Structure 1
């Protein structure tokens, strides 16, 4: 069952006549699934792609290897590139990209601990970028970043 903020965000996107697509690394499709459960999903949802592995980021979404090498797969720079590439692929008005670290073993550092999640949301009226560190189990972090994306996008739609 989607959260209230996801339901409100979905309704706000529909009210604007926009559609939405997702490109997800750390959340592996969960964000798109949450939006698919809203009443407006048939009006707004274009689709999504899970790009958990670097191969998908590079070979399918055409994110330059050097960008990933220079900034790591879980970074603001790679997330922004994913959003731009997916916006073209899906021809979507709104595109939400997310990367991050829900477990140890990725590119975590003391400056970028496990729980760090990056969002880049491309809309017709601007781009929203966000870096937040979440606490909890991996699923809790995924639900938190999903609600964060919905909240940021909802506020953006209300302008």
Structure 2
């Protein structure tokens, strides 16, 4: 059972964020702050990490990040559209160059379906109003393993974007 992160991509992200003088902020649900926490462990994180919002409870998605209540009912709190709206709401709360949102299902009892099983995670990243990536992935394992895989997946996707900068 995997209990730690392969941090090579994370370290590379930190180096490139610093090199390009970019800052980052997170809106997290299923990962419950783990994304921000892992990025905070990167050397010199204070140069790029602005902070994050944990909105594990669906009502916080509405009250803190401005996700319309009707969207939670229509699309479920763990969905691509809600992740997108959370990320947009984060832009209004925390000034940063890159905003990343994450929702998903790490354990039974949420909005899982045959098409959206436990382990389904949604990531959405924007810079200004430009989409960097929108990903849906399915991971397997315990809730902790799903979260760790999500952190690594995010670092990989972000690193691809950062390597493309000049």
2:110 match: secondary structure: coil
Matching of residue 19 in structure 1 with residue 23 in structure 2 = yes
Counterpart selection for 1:106 from 105, 110, 116: 110
Give the total of aligned pairs: 159
Q: After TM superposition, which residue ranges in structure 1, 4 or more long, deviate above 6 angstroms?
A: none
Counterpart selection for 1:119 from 123, 131, 135: 123
Normalising to structure 2: TM-score of the pair?
0.92
Matching of residue 74 in structure 1 with residue 81 in structure 2 = no
Superimposed CA distance per residue, residues 21-50 of structure 1 (whole angstroms, 9 cap, x where no aligned partner): 011000000110000000130100100110
State the Cα distance separating 1:96 from its structure 2 match.
1.1
Normalising to structure 1: TM-score of the pair?
0.96
Counterpart selection for 2:88 from 59, 74, 84: 84
Q: Which moved more, 1:13-22 or 1:124-133?
A: 124-133
Structure 2 residue aligned with 1:151: 156
The CA RMSD over aligned residues, in Å, is 1.2
1:42 match: secondary structure: helix
State the Cα distance separating 1:121 from its structure 2 match.
0.8
Structure 2 residue aligned with 1:42: 46
User: In 2, Cα distance between the equivalents of 1:101 and 1:34?
Assistant: 20
- Which consecutive unaligned segments of at least 5 residues does structure 2 have? none
User: In 2, Cα distance between the equivalents of 1:40 and 1:13?
Assistant: 10
User: In 2, Cα distance between the equivalents of 1:126 and 1:109?
Assistant: 27
Matching of residue 129 in structure 1 with residue 134 in structure 2 = yes
